[in-house]
Amino acid sequence: MATSVKQMLEAANAAVPKISPAQAREMIAKGNTLVVDIRDAPEVAASGKAAGAVHVSRGMLEFRADPESPYHDKNFAKDKNVILYCASGGRAALAGKMLKDLGYDKIFNMGGFKDWADSGGAVEK
């Protein structure tokens, strides 16, 4: 049965809790939290990223997150909180759903980078 992007987003948003930048800062302060910017490289180059975030473009996320992959990024661990963001939250929701499918339990969607920056979140260029 074919699925539309709208249906995929609805399922992802139902599976991945949305948090505010303030909630994200609280989680980061407590530790054991990975923040992932899943925007494409030109987007990150133009605006910077949340301070301390790991940049993994959406297209490489599965390969970086799966411990069985030769491209695995050791920052990814299933016992960590993982906070995702993109430009507006759509890609972060879809990415979060995919990480849940890979066995990650503590996944959160912070929405868009602009939300982070506008709320006073630290940015690194």
The pTM score is 0.95
Domains of the chain: residue spans and CATH:
5-118 (3.40.250.10)
Bridge partners of 35? Answer: 83
How does pLDDT run across 62-92, given as a tens digit for each residue? 999 999 999 999 999 999 999 999 999 999 9
How does pLDDT run across 52-61, given as a tens digit for each residue? 999 999 999 9
How does pLDDT run across 94-112, given as a tens digit for each residue? 999 999 999 999 999 999 9
Mean pLDDT of the chain: 96
At 33, the pLDDT band (50, 70, 90 cuts) reads very high
* Distances 11 to 14, 89, 90, 121 between C-alpha atoms, Å: 5, 14, 11, 28
